Structure 1
Amino acid sequence: MSIVKLENKLATYFFKTKEIAEHFCKNDIVTLQFFQRHNDVKLCGINEAINLLKDKTDITKYTIKYLKEGSIIHNREVVLELEGPYYEFGLWEGMIDGILARQTSIATNAYRIVKAANNKPIVSMADRADHYINSLNDIYASRVGGITNFCTLEGADFDLEKSYGSMPHALIQMFKGDIVKACEAYHETFPNSALYALVDFHNDVIFDSLACLKRFGKDLKGVRIDTSKSMVDKMFKEGEAQFGVTPLQVKRLREALDKNNGKHVKIVVSSGFDAEKIKKFEKQKAPVDSYGVGEALLRINIHFSADATRLNGIEIAKAGRKYLTNKNLVIYKGENLNEK
């Protein structure tokens, strides 16, 4: 695979503008400000953006002001301000917007999900929701948002015992649908790993959970419910149909486990969970011990813009925009900013 220069990923009009600015506006000082339009947002990607500027530009030629990684920001609050000759930094405007958009979106998703769960553990199962090439940055942004549990080795800092994922449905399928035999094989192969049984294969979570509890007793650490949103668990009678994973389903499973000496068994839920769905479960006091969250973590719904708002200290900007003062900005002085 050939190595693609980073500059080749930039919009071409930035190159043209840089050339024009260097020729016609060489001594002018431009103020460029970056912001987004949502409230209660967890800022992420600012370290990566500054490190990009540090690597690709001469930062002694202009001033960088920024908000610290992990800050809570609001609508039109400036998070990064660059001031100096435009041609020194303007080339990177679009790429910085993209860095901040992705990283802040993921960190904010994680932040809101963690808050909705009332301090219950969240497990990131987002590995299948996007291209693997993004995984390291996605894990970093999720950590900034407050998530500490991941299903991948990369997310678990390459410690197999710290990664979570229970088992895929394919493992049960290979044992002809016998959940107990699948768990026996798992437990024999990985005796030091906590045994979490995936119990929705037959759409009968109480039956399969109790079968695993009977066989493993205290060695069964937990069960995971992953019922599809198109399915109704067999515990529900006609007239009380509830599709997918529901609070009542979890409550009934908890009661069944408790009545059969299974109070030690944790209940993990997954399948389409986001902050709003978690809020619903918490409001109904569903006895969930932890939530598995996938694609909801990687939704990109916060976007950044950069406005040129001052020229040689005089405010001038496109209609509807103006210089935005943020007294919380910090001047960057070349210190090392960790981004991983």
Structure 2
Amino acid sequence: MVQPSNGVETPGLNTASSSAPLPDPVITARTDSYFNRTKRIVSHFGDCEVTYAFFIRRPVISAPGLMLEWLKNVMAERNSPYTIDLVHPEGEWVGAGEPLVYITGSFTHLADLETLLLQKLGSPCVAAHRAYQIAVSLPHTKFLAMDARHCAGYGMQELMAYAASVGGRAAKRDGAIGFIGTANDAVAPFFNSTHGYGTMPHALIGYAGSTVRAAEMFHELYPETDLVVLVDYFGKEVTDALAVCRRFPDLAAQGRLGVRLDTHGGRFLEGLNPQESYAVVDRHAPEALRRYRSDSELRYLIGTGVSAAAVWRMRDALDEAGFPHVKIIASSGFGVTKCACMADAHAPIDVVGTGSFIPDRWNETYATADIVSYNGTERVKIGREFLLPSQRKAQKGSSA
């Protein structure tokens, strides 16, 4: 019997291109040759029912949806029944080496799928874990997945967007706001959206010749879209932010205007230096300065680029000028440590755009699979006995 991926409707899976079945010659070409040879040998000497245990050799958040959806579609094309035992449903914490899912079916029809199934399991689970970590490290801030440019093609982008959505929902269950969307339309359905977020790159400001003019151009063509303006192009973040606010006072008053801080790490935000940065943070969150534990943490608090001091400096300037409803969007180098420092400094960030952080551990997939049962008889290579279903049941029984 073919079962659904996890019993829970996952946004975006119905439109995910990576879930589409592939012709058998394409699967053969993309899978490891020893699996293809195994398929032929088993077909010649007689098929049997096998159970695969899929696991990952590092802690992750379970993100099996794309893999299981693809498996469902391929096995339907092959008219081959199978069953799944999803030990860790989507969004659940999985310890290193724990079986994540058992798949039982025809050895002939499963043998040549292992390579592609692992490709669709390991990296999303790792990335979902990273998305979860960054979201809970700054729980009261919204996150936007801007990782597409850091991905090696659309296939990787789709896996990362799905992972960010899973990790974001897991973080939300633990009290964080999590991920609200992504930067382009193709993967927006994973976030229950029809479109990507974002208004303008630096290139548009260079084309317009001024930050205000770029904002005017954007608003003229997209009057119904909230306006978020990059303010670091000319190195006058505060000056240009206030100029845009004065140009669009109604949007500012309605909370439909935001400024995005993306200041280069080689300089301070306008009006700041080491002394001024220290003074700003000391005014708003003196305890954060007393608790820092490393040079990198101190840099996130009062250093160059988008620091906690930079965020507070912008918030102070906006409030003092009468624009308390203008939002601050921050990007550039946001990872767990930087977010934790921002949280410690109570930095008033409304949205964080994170790019390279989500796929940064692409090399840490460590996903693998072993057959643990042949025609109902448990058998696995020495050292992997912990994957046997009977062992798992015994462990659950002893802990009950």
Place the TM-score, normalised by the shorter chain, in its bin. Answer: 0.7 to 0.9
Residue 34 (structure 1) aligned with residue 54 (structure 2): yes
Aligned match of 1:168 in 198, 201, 204? 201
Partner of 1:337: none
**Is the counterpart of residue 321 in structure 1 residue 384 in structure 2?**
yes
Taking the aligned partners of 2:102 and 2:95, their CA distance within structure 1 comes to 16
Measured against aligned partners, the alpha-carbon deviations of 1:78-127 in whole angstroms (never above 9, x if no partner) come to: 12223455333121111111110132233333222322231421112122
Q: CA deviation at 1:185?
A: 1.7
SS at match of 2:337: helix
More moved, 318-327 vs 220-229: 318-327
1:145 aligns with 2:167: yes
For 2:219 and 2:47, locate their aligned partners in 1 and report how far apart those are by CA, in whole Å.
70
Residues 142 and 55 of structure 1: CA distance in aligned 2, closer, same or farther (over 3 Å): farther
The verdict on how the C-alpha distance between 1:15 and 1:252 changes in structure 2, with shifts beyond 3 A counting, is: same
Equivalent residue in structure 2 for 1:189, among 206, 221, 224: 221
- 1:187, 1:27 → 2: CA distance? 64
Residue of structure 1 aligned with 2:366, choices 303, 322, 327: 303
In the alignment, structure 1 residue 283 sits paired with structure 2 residue 344: yes
Shifted more, 318-327 versus 179-188: the winner is: 318-327
Q: Which has the higher contact order (CA 8 A, sep 6+)?
A: 1
1:102-181 matches, within 5 Å, as 102-134=123-155, 135-146=157-168, 147-156=179-188, 163-176=196-209, 178-181=210-213
Contact 2:50 2:104 survives alignment (8 Å): yes
Match of 2:92 in 1: 71
Higher helix proportion: 2
Match of 1:225 among 258, 261, 264: 261
SS in 2 for 1:59: coil
Distance 1:27 1:149, change over 3 A: closer
SS of equivalent residue, structure 1 residue 48: helix
Aligned mate of 1:14, from 12, 35, 38: 35
Q: TM-score if structure 2 supplies the norm length? A: 0.72
What do you get for the CA RMSD once the two structures are aligned? Answer: 2.8
Q: Name the CA distance, whole Å, in 2 between partners of 1:271 and 1:110.
A: 16
1:199 CA drift (Å): 0.8
TM-score by length of 1: 0.83
Aligned-pair CA distance for 1:184: 1.6
Contact 2:58 2:366 survives alignment (8 Å): no
1:40 to partner: Cα distance: 4.8
Give the structure 1 partner of residue 354 of structure 2: 293
Closer/same/farther in 2, CA of residues 55 and 137 from structure 1, 3 Å limit: farther
Q: CA–CA distance in 2 between the matches of 1:268 and 1:255?
A: 15
Residue 11 of structure 1, CA deviation: 0.9
Query: Identity over the aligned pairs, expressed in percent?
Result: 29
Matching residue's letter, 1:262: F
CA offsets 1:39-72 (integer angstroms, 9 cap, x no match): 3523233433432542354433x54323433333
**Residue identity matched to 2:162:** Y
Q: Is the 8 A contact 1:218 1:264 kept in 2?
A: no
User: Is the contact between residue 122 and residue 149 of structure 1 (CA under 8 Å) also seen in structure 2?
Assistant: yes
Question: More displaced, 280-289 or 83-92?
Answer: 83-92
Check conservation: 1:46, 1:66, Cα contact below 8 A.
no
Give 1:77 deviation, angstroms. 1.9
Runs (5+) with no aligned partner, structure 1: 328-340
Aligned residues: 322
Residue 213 (structure 1) aligns with: 245
> Do the aligned partners of residues 49 and 275 (structure 1) sit closer, same or farther apart at CA in structure 2, a change above 3 Å counting?
farther
Distance in structure 1 (CA, Å) of the matches to 2:274 and 2:158: 46
Shift of 1:170: 0.7
Aligned-pair CA distance for 1:316: 3.5
Q: How far apart in 1 are the matches of 2:124 and 2:201?
A: 28
Q: Deviations over 1:271-293 (max 9, x none)?
A: 12223322221122111111011
How much does 1:310 deviate?
3.7
Letter of the 1:173 counterpart: G
Cα distance between partner residues in 2 of 1:5 and 1:28: 24
> Which shifted more, 134-143 or 100-109?
134-143
From 87, 90, 93, give the equivalent of 2:111: 90
1:76/1:20 Cα in 2 relative to 1: closer, same or farther (>3 Å)? same
Q: Note closer, same or farther for the CA distance 1:58–1:235 as it changes in structure 2 (3 Å cut).
A: same
Q: Distance in 1 between matches of 2:376 and 2:188?
A: 48
Change (3 A) 1:316 1:76: same
Q: Which of 251, 266, 269 is matched with 2:330 structurally?
A: 269
* Contact preservation (8 Å) 1:127, 1:294: yes
- Listed as ranges, the gaps of 5+ residues in structure 2 are 1-22, 169-178, 278-301, 394-400
For 2:59 and 2:266, locate their aligned partners in 1 and report how far apart those are by CA, in whole Å: 34
Alpha-carbon distance in 1 for matches of 2:103, 2:62: 21
Output the amino acid matched with 1:225. Answer: L
